[in-house]
Amino acid sequence: MTPRFDALKSKFIQIKQPVRDAVSDTAQVENTVKDIIANVRERGDAAIREYSIAFDKVDVTSFEVTEEEKLKVVADLEPQTREDTEFAIANVRRFAKAQLGTILPLEIESLPGLHLGHRVIPIETVGCYVPGGRYPLLSAPVMTIVPAKVAGCDQVIACLPPNAHPAMIAGCHLAGADRIFRVGGAQAIAAMAYGTETIPAVDKIVGPGNAFVNEAKRQVFGKVGIDQLAGPSEIFVVADETANAFTIATDLLAQAEHDVRTRVGVVTTDRNLAEGILIEVEKQLQNLPTAPVAGVAWNHYGEITVVEDEETMIAYSDHIATEHLQVHTRDPHATAKKLRNYGSIFIGDLASVVYSDKCCGTNHTLPTMGAGRYTGGLWVGSYVKVATHQWLDERGVAAVAPAATRQSATERLEGHRRAAALRLSSNQFAAK
């Protein structure tokens, strides 16, 4: 715990405590994934086919989705589903373009004759992992593929489990994927990292997945870039006495139905609200079709904490650094400005996490497990490199070479000293 949070522990009580730790409950998959990566790296497509049969119960004879197949799955989409998918794509694209507009190239003359700057360069080849999961998450390909296309990546490939819903393939195509492959799990990550006879190696892998996918991303990091290591989904709500227990309970269960290890919680300054939320959650679980999932998540990882004051509420929330943070207070914008650790923040009781999950435009691929303390979520900036450059004329050499020469001599790096001094002598400047 942070010192600030530890000092405030006496100021809160937990109405409901989590009984399990979503992070420590993660399966021990390291060795299994290590073997999968080694096998795919050595045997390529043959290994992928064997894993598809073993894990997905599908014998895939052709991994790449053909153009004819893409057109068919799009044509087979229910019209309203296609319209909603294209609505989401348009919103995500619009926001990504606006974000990209804030990442500007730079040129300055730092000293006379010393020119410094940077370029914004799209990553050449990106691999987007699209999870199959318990439900066909139609927004998943939108969130990873659309920003890559906006960023200007040369090639965007998508991998999804061979038994994924056809609408997921349609979503990959509509979002702009250049190539789509029927391969899931750790074997897909290995294929994108090292390449196979069919699947090209990429420069960066993005997208969420299960524990095996997450572990595979961790193990291939360095050979390729990755966006982040994602754990089970999370939602926390900060609330005061003006909040509505029914609304909060509904939002908590909406997120809890993602996975039995979803972490859901509330921190509030009002005990009556806390007890009301507890009652509402139990009541809504009685008629929620996804209660077998959401109820387990709530029972194991649900949390309701009552604190003395807003300061403690802010400190508690910042300590949790949740993936999704909803703000239900009298002045939610003022409260939001005081919060600093989260993946994405939802300000006011009209801003549901579900809107961002599906279609409003912000990305739903967000940091979990406390990573909101040091990073934000997937965004168009994840698909570009900001690379610096410099050039000097004689005035610039005269300004920086003497200090570089002296420092190199102090460090006893004679090769460095000679390289720095060379430019002084060739330009007929005397070192001081």
pLDDT digits (tens, 9 = 90+) for 59-68: 998 999 999 9
| Inter-residue long-range contacts of 70-78, CB under 8 Å, 24+ positions, other chains counted | 70/169, 70/170, 70/173, 70/180, 73/166, 73/167, 73/169, 73/170, 73/173, 74/170, 74/173, 74/174, 76/166, 76/170, 77/167, 77/170
326 φ/ψ angles, rounded to the nearest 5 degrees = -100, 140
pLDDT at 431: 43
Residue 137 reports pLDDT greater than 90: no
What single-letter DSSP state applies at residue 203?
A: S
Residue 73 reports pLDDT greater than 90: yes
CA distance 7 to 46: 57
Residue 235 reports pLDDT greater than 50: yes
Residue 53 lies in a domain: yes
pLDDT at 23: 55
Shared domain for 69 and 159, answered yes or no, is yes
pLDDT at 342: 97
Shared domain for 12 and 50, answered yes or no, is no
pLDDT at 16: 84
CA distance 281 to 255: 12
Catalytic residue among 173, 319, 324, 364: 324
Please state the rounded mean pLDDT for residues 328-335.
98
Please state the rounded mean pLDDT for residues 226-242.
94
CA distance 94 to 7: 44
* Minimum mean pLDDT range among 130-139, 140-149, 296-305: 130-139
Residue 252 lies in a domain: yes
pLDDT at 230: 84
pLDDT-derived band of residue 424, with 50, 70 and 90 as boundaries?
Answer: confident
Shared domain for 86 and 181, answered yes or no, is yes
Confirm whether 197 is a catalytic residue.
no
Residue 112 lies in a domain: no
Shared domain for 89 and 156, answered yes or no, is yes
According to DSSP, the residues that pair with 246 across neighbouring strands are none
Confirm whether 324 is a catalytic residue.
yes
Residue 383 lies in a domain: no
Domain final residue, candidates 340, 361, 382: 361
Residue 211 reports pLDDT greater than 80: yes
Judge whether 93 and 170 are in contact, CB under 8 Å.
no
Question: Shortest CA distance to 124 belongs to which of 12, 52, 190, 204?
Answer: 204
Shared domain for 216 and 70, answered yes or no, is yes
pLDDT at 231: 84
Domain final residue, candidates 179, 205, 228: 228
Residue 385 lies in a domain: no
Range of the domain at 405: 393-426
CA distance 429 to 419: 14
pLDDT digits (tens, 9 = 90+) for 263-281: 999 999 999 999 999 999 9
The conformational region for residue 44 under phi > 0 = left, psi -120 to 50 = alpha, else beta, is left
Residue 295 lies in a domain: yes
Please state the rounded mean pLDDT for residues 328-355.
97
Residue 51 reports pLDDT greater than 50: yes
pLDDT-derived band of residue 11, with 50, 70 and 90 as boundaries?
Answer: confident
Q: What is the CATH number of the domain that holds 15?
A: 3.40.50.1980
Residue 158 reports pLDDT greater than 50: yes
For all residues of the chain together, what is the average pLDDT?
93
Residue 380 lies in a domain: no
Residue 69 reports pLDDT greater than 50: yes
pLDDT at 135: 64
Domain final residue, candidates 176, 203, 228: 228
pLDDT at 179: 98
pLDDT at 360: 94
Please state the rounded mean pLDDT for residues 217-231.
94
Shared domain for 305 and 403, answered yes or no, is no
pLDDT-derived band of residue 202, with 50, 70 and 90 as boundaries?
Answer: very high
Residue 430 reports pLDDT greater than 50: no
Please state the rounded mean pLDDT for residues 396-403.
96
pLDDT at 3: 55
Shared domain for 277 and 342, answered yes or no, is yes
pLDDT-derived band of residue 425, with 50, 70 and 90 as boundaries?
Answer: confident
Residue 215 lies in a domain: yes
Shared domain for 216 and 339, answered yes or no, is no
Shared domain for 200 and 289, answered yes or no, is no
Shared domain for 152 and 284, answered yes or no, is no
Please state the rounded mean pLDDT for residues 313-341.
97
Give the total number of structural domains in the chain. 3
Residue 32 reports pLDDT greater than 90: yes
pLDDT at 14: 83
Judge whether 319 and 2 are in contact, CB under 8 Å.
yes
Shared domain for 263 and 132, answered yes or no, is no
Residue 323 reports pLDDT greater than 70: yes
Shared domain for 187 and 297, answered yes or no, is no
Catalytic residue among 323, 328, 333, 411: 323
pLDDT at 296: 96
Judge whether 156 and 144 are in contact, CB under 8 Å.
no
